[in-house]
């Protein structure tokens, strides 16, 4: 059995859907489970819808109508005069969304509302792709991933309950997937009360890995609009090259520091079961792309990762006493409580510094909390974090082109630079 995962860019328009159908059709006689994301930028549009709905803004219904309209255009192009036969289920999903945004009872908890609304992106896209495949005589079984990916109820960042997920996937999905081509959603799951949850933005890769691990897949393939994993983002660096082989550990490190091709949680389940991961281009399906596995060669080129929109918190005591263990304990407890991840940390006599994502709704409560404990917090803004693996001697000079290096950390074969623009 193979797992294929197609991201939003692969199904952004009718031509994309036809291309995806073509790639799937090559495997139609083999066991295959296909995970598909929301189409194009639908998830972003649904996020706008959540914001407008939460704030009771009139624009919510316009935002929703625009989402419906763009899907309708795609349906019309895909199915032409037969569209009405296929779009029944999709229409019903639109209707459910309309009812959701009118439902006053759902508007108390932003994160809960988010999961209930944003999950529709994948429900709609998978219904459309499944129907299109059937219209092309490619039989398949659409399944609702929420019956299989069982999570806790931490909305927007739900944690998979492995035991329950394993049980239901093995008992219910495995027999089905042995006989049918399965089309399902990434990113979404079912929480403790049976409600919809999501695994965090770009979480569909992770869903594919979960299905792959439990179903004992021979491989998982993530189809992207890039040739595979590159050693750096070609939009930001010159002379980038494709990495044809990557170890699980290197892939985990790169994903952790922000290489956006692979979702950070994806590798762990695959590594545990030694299932190779392929990252391939849906535009050039016959190209080999990147293989992530245990039998890969060590990285032979430096990999560079650029994470923008960072800030540094410079924390000191009010009277500039030494930062001691007690302060560190308070700081780490607060980071954990407010779920803020410190990408880079550094401690000196009177300062603790950490670099975090610039997300106001997350760091402002953290800062207030630290302030209430008698700590001073100075925020340094407009930062980027650049990470280089297998750093070459000249990497520091190269990084200077992005701004002033205000912090540097070397760890084993990696160097991290915090840069002020």
Which residues of this protein are in contact with Mg ion, per CB under 5 A? 8, 37-38, 43
* Binding to ligand ASP, residues 59-118 (CB under 6 A): none
Is residue 212 within the footprint of ligand ASP (CB under 6 A)? no
Interaction of residue 258 with ligand ASP, rule CB under 6 A: no
Specify the residue for token string 């994160």. Answer: 111
144 DSSP assignment = -
Angstrom distances, CA of residue 33 to CA of 6, 130, 183, 199, 374:
11, 12, 6, 19, 54
Which range in 71-79, 126-134, 196-204, 305-313 contacts ligand ASP by CB under 6 A?
Answer: 196-204
Residue 217 CA to residue 269 CA, distance in Å, equals 12
Q: Report the DSSP beta bridge partners of residue 34.
A: 4, 183
Of the residues 201, 236, 343, 351, which one makes contact with ligand ASP according to CB under 6 A: 201
Strand partners, 277: 220, 292
What is the smallest separation between the CB atom of 185 and ligand ASP, expressed in angstroms?
9
CA atoms of 274 and 196, how far apart (whole Å): 30
User: Which residue number, 7 or 302, has a Cβ lying nearer to ligand ASP?
Assistant: 7
Nearer to Mg ion (CB atom), residue 209 or residue 367:
209
Distance set, CA 260 to CA 203, 264, 293 (Å): 12, 9, 18
The order of strands in the sheet holding 290-293 is 141-142, 182-185, 32-36, 2-6, 219-224, 277-281, 290-293, 245-247
Rounded to a whole number of angstroms, the minimum distance from the CB of residue 50 to ligand ASP is 13
**Which residue's beta carbon is nearest to the bound ligand ASP?**
204
Q: In the block, which residue shows the tokens 């060590």? A: 298
In whole angstroms, how close is the CB of 260 to Mg ion at the nearest point? 12
From CA 170, how far away is CA 172, in angstroms rounded?
Answer: 6
3-state SS track over 22-40: HHHHCCCCCCEEEEECCCC
* Interface map 121-160 toward ligand ASP (x if CB under 6 A): x---------------------------------------
For 80-117, letters b (16+ CB in 10 Å) and e give: eeebeebbeebeebbeebeebbeeeeeeeeebbbbbbb
* Contact range with ligand ASP by CB under 6 A, out of 159-167, 199-207, 280-288, 342-350: 199-207
Q: What is the enclosing helix (H) or strand (E) of 179?
A: helix 174-179
Member of 14, 24, 38, 45 binding ligand ASP (CB under 6 A): 38
Q: Which of residues 361-400 bind ligand ASP (CB under 6 A)?
A: none
Q: Minimum distance between the CB of residue 45 and ligand ASP, rounded to whole angstroms? A: 10
Shortest approach of ligand ASP to residue 179 CB, angstroms?
A: 27
Among 187, 248, 278, 352, binds ligand ASP (CB under 6 A): 187
296 binds ligand ASP (CB under 6 A): no
**Closer Cβ to ligand ASP, 38 or 209, answer by number:** 38
Which one of 16, 203, 212, 264 is in contact with ligand ASP (CB under 6 A)?
203
Q: Does 7 bind ligand ASP (CB under 6 A)?
A: yes
Taking the complex as a whole, how short is the minimal distance between the CB of residue 204 and ligand ASP, in angstroms?
A: 3
Count of residues binding ligand ASP (CB under 6 A)? 12
Our finding on whether 189 is near ligand ASP (CB under 6 A) is no
Name the minimum Å distance from CB 58 to ligand ASP. 26
Dump strand ranges (E) for 139-192: 141-142, 182-185, 188-190
Q: Which is nearer to Mg ion, 8 or 212 (CB)?
A: 8
Question: How far apart, in whole angstroms, are the C-alpha atoms of residue 361 and residue 368?
Answer: 12
For ligand ASP, the closer of residues 7 and 191 by Cβ is 7
> Tokens at residue 306, please?
């650029």
Residues of the chain by 3-state class (helix, strand, coil), percent to 5: 45, 25, 35
What residues line the site for ligand ASP (CB under 6 A)?
A: 7-8, 37-38, 43, 121, 186-187, 201-204
């Amino acid at each position: 059995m193979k797992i294929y995962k197609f991201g939003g860019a692969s199904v952004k328009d009718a031509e994309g859907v036809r291309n995806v159908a073509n790639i799937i059709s090559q495997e139609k006689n083999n066991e295959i489970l296909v995970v598909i994301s929301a189409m194009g930028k639908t998830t972003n549009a649904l996020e706008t819808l959540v914001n407008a709905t939460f704030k009771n803004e009139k624009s919510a219904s316009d935002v929703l109508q625009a989402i419906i309209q763009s899907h309708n255009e795609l349906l019309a192009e895909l199915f032409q005069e037969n569209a009405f036969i296929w779009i029944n289920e999709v229409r019903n999903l639109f209707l459910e969304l309309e009812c959701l945004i009118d439902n006053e009872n759902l508007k108390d908890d932003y994160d809960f509302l988010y999961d209930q609304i944003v999950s529709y992106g994948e429900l709609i896209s998978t219904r459309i792709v499944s129907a299109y495949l059937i219209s092309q005589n490619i039989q398949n079984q659409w399944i609702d991933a929420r019956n299989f990916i069982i999570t806790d109820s931490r909305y927007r960042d739900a944690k998979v309950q492995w035991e329950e997920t394993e049980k239901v996937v093995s008992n219910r999905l495995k027999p089905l997937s042995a006989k049918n081509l399965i089309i399902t959603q990434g990113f979404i799951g079912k929480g403790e009360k049976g409600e919809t949850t999501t695994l965090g933005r770009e979480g569909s890769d992770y869903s594919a890995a979960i299905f792959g691990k439990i179903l004992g897949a021979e491989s998982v393939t993530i189809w992207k609009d890039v040739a595979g994993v590159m050693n750096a983002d070609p939009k930001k660096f010159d002379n980038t090259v494709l990495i044809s082989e990557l170890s699980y550990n290197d892939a985990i490190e790169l994903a952790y520091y922000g290489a956006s091709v692979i979702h950070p949680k994806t590798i762990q389940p695959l590594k545990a079961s030694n299932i190779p991961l392929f990252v391939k281009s849906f535009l050039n399906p016959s190209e080999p792309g990147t293989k992530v596995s245990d039998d890969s060669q060590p990285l032979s080129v430096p990999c560079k990762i650029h994470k923008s929109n960072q800030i540094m918190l410079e924390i000191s005591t009010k009277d500039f006493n030494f930062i001691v263990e007690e302060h560190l304990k308070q700081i780490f407890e607060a980071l954990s409580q407010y779920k803020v991840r410190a990408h880079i940390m550094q401690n000196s006599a009177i300062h603790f510094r950490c670099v975090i994502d610039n997300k106001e709704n997350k760091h402002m409560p953290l800062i207030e909390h630290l302030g209430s404990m008698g700590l001073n917090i100075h925020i340094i803004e407009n930062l980027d974090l650049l990470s280089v693996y297998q750093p070459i001697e000249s990497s520091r000079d190269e990084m200077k082109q992005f701004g002033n290096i205000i912090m540097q950390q070397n760890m084993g074969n990696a160097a991290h630079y915090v840069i002020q623009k």
